[in-house]
Amino acid sequence: MTYDSKRHLVILFGGDYTHETWSYDPSANAWTNITPNYSPSARADTVIAYDSESDRVILYGGLFGSTLFNDTWAFDLENSNWTEMEPKSSPPAVSGHAMAYDARHDRVVLFGGQAINYMARETWAYDYNSNIWTTMRPEASPDGRAYARFEYDSRSNRMILYGGQGGASPENETWSYDLNNNTWSNMKPMPAPTSAGYRSMAYDIRSDRVVLFGGWEGQYDYISNATWIYDYHANKWTNITPSFGPEPRFSAAMTYDPLTDSIVMYGGLGKNRAFYDTWIYQLDNLPYVTGTTPSNGILDLSVRSDILVYFSEQMNETSTERAMTTTPVISLNASWGDSGRLLTLKPETSIPNGMNLTIRISANATSADGKHLERNVMLSFTTYAPVQPTFDTAKAGVLILSVGIAVAIAAAILSSEWIVYATALLLAPLYLKVRREKMLSNFARGRIYQFILDCPGAHLRFIEKSLNVPIGVLVHHLRMLERSEMIRSVKKGYLKRFYCATSVERTGTNIYGPMRKEIMTVLKNRPGQSVRSLEGILSEGRQTVLFCVNDLLDRKVIVAKHTARGTKYYPTGSSSQFA
């Protein structure tokens, strides 16, 4: 994710193995799908940086399955098109590399990344105008690593690099790079954030601080939501974690918006879940919205109709009702709680299903020094009222009877030892669920789990080659993840494939599976749904829905139509086989 300073928009590409391009307007709190017809191929672990002199977003490398890319692309937001640059020479094919734009020297600087069978430690600089990558070959540099965070400190004219994954454990080193003199310096600040992987980082120009958030921290016994700031001049990290903030996560996208003086963060991964929320963080004293309920932008009318808005500071309660507007116009009753930090919005009349509701709030606070502070907030929700499923008692009775007969036959055929063993297999997951939070305490296990989330259906050798993990270590962690019910394996011929516990794999006898059928049922009754709306309707994770939607697209039973409001999906004539 990067910031287009000419148009004051945040630009996001890829993630979840997609090729979508999105823009975010922090002032309007609105995401827009701007994916053109011709784009870089779908990929993950890629990096983009905005070249302000050329007014282009530069993309390099990335990963799809076990395929690494070494292509260079430029995105022109003015004309909404991607161009593959095809320079004569390039850095090695890498994923999880570090990349940022040095505005003073007009160069995109790239470091490290996961290459084929090794961790890269090369430093490269790219000039868009001449379309040339130059290998810098400094005398000393950080060790090879991937997933380090890299930002340009414009006041110090230095690139700041933090952390990364080089070996069995992550790094917590802080390095600076001077492009003018082509020198790396190990800053060795004391204290420093604990070792962590997959943190998020951005440079705040106004406060002249690097902001660091989240990650898989310490010995990886928990995922962090800590916030740190780094002062290059003082060579000092400071933990400034607020009392309320985003849920713990790693691999979130982050950038800085100088127009609103805000750090913008999107998405990320938590324990056994993915996030699709947008957060704003400011280092100044202005109050800001720290979260909402619901947090996913979908207001399920069958569960609740009120909306909760959480503020970072105590707000003045008197002006909020007068300054609040909604589109379309509905009457909301506003009430305050938690000493002016919680705003509850309750509709005075029922809200229709399928409404795109926008709420604008102008809330005020008084700082400790008596200054009047105003915060303008815009919230967006889509209302949803699911159809309650009916319970067929006759079918349920037949199913229970059939299962009972099958169990009786199995008990008669099998010896008692087999019955005890089968019973133990059934009861073991119940015990292991209690210990689930301990299953991701190892960093290698976390990398394996994230890879399976990103690439459902990957087989053993495929994972081994992609992550460069010893086969013995890989088998051990896969077994532990299976025992914790976080993943499951399916034998396909001579291959053993792995899936997230909630994902859907292709089967030989029922190639469409229940989830695909549910998606088709929704699209027949309510065509024009997006992946995000399908997530809410089906109460399923994004990986599962995206996996099934892409499969249905491959089978040509649905089609995708790209609009200004995002990608929508519709059934085709060949979808009658689902009836």
- CB-count exposure of residue 507 (10 Å: 0-12, 13-18, 19+): exposed
CATH number of the domain residue 566 falls in: 1.10.10.10
How much is the pLDDT for 76? 95
Percent of the residues in the chain that have a pLDDT greater than 90, as a whole number: 32
136, 44: one domain: yes
344, 274: one domain: no
Q: Is residue 486 part of a domain?
A: no
Q: Is the peptide bond before 40 cis (omega within 30 degrees of 0)?
A: no
pLDDT tens per residue, range 374-414: 555 667 677 766 655 555 566 666 677 777 676 666 555 54
Task: Identify the residue with better confidence: 101 or 270.
Answer: 101
Which range in 155-164, 320-329, 403-412, 456-465 is most confidently predicted, on average pLDDT? 155-164
Domain that holds residue 372: 298-384
Structural contact between residues 383 and 355, judged by C-beta atoms closer than 8 angstroms: yes
- Tokens representing 139 are 């005398």
Q: Measure the CA–CA gap between 286 and 207, rounded to whole angstroms.
A: 14
94, 192: one domain: yes
CATH number of the domain residue 373 falls in: 2.60.40.1220
Global pTM reads 0.54
Q: Measure the CA–CA gap between 499 and 502, rounded to whole angstroms.
A: 8
How much is the pLDDT for 207? 80
- Tokens representing 75 are 């995105």
100, 207: one domain: yes
Residues 464, 468, 470, 476, CA torsion sign: negative
Instruction: Count how many domains the chain has.
Output: 4
Which range in 206-215, 296-305, 505-514 is most confidently predicted, on average pLDDT? 206-215
Q: Is residue 450 part of a domain?
A: no
335, 399: one domain: no
How much is the pLDDT for 41? 92
205, 317: one domain: no
Q: Is residue 174 part of a domain?
A: yes
154, 21: one domain: yes
Amino acid at 159: M
Question: What's the mean pLDDT when you consider all of the chain?
Answer: 79
**Which are the contacts of 50, defined by CB distance < 8 A and separation ≥ 6?**
2, 3, 4, 5, 11, 56, 57, 58, 101
How much is the pLDDT for 122? 96
Angle at 10 between CA 98 and CA 113, to 5 degrees: 10
Percent of the residues in the chain that have a pLDDT greater than 70, as a whole number: 73
Structural contact between residues 184 and 194, judged by C-beta atoms closer than 8 angstroms: no
Q: Is residue 508 part of a domain?
A: no
CATH number of the domain residue 180 falls in: 2.120.10.80
Taking residues 28-55, report their average pLDDT: 93
Taking residues 404-430, report their average pLDDT: 49
Q: Is residue 112 part of a domain?
A: yes
380, 239: one domain: no
Structural contact between residues 61 and 69, judged by C-beta atoms closer than 8 angstroms: yes
Query: CA of 504: how far to CAs of 269, 549, 551, 554, 560, in Å?
Result: 19, 11, 11, 16, 21
264, 321: one domain: no
For residue 140, is pLDDT > 90?
A: yes
Amino acid at 569: Y
374, 401: one domain: no
401, 376: one domain: no
For residue 436, is pLDDT > 60?
A: no
161, 306: one domain: no
How much is the pLDDT for 55? 94
How much is the pLDDT for 124? 97
Pick from 311, 296, 319, 322: nearest CA to 344: 311
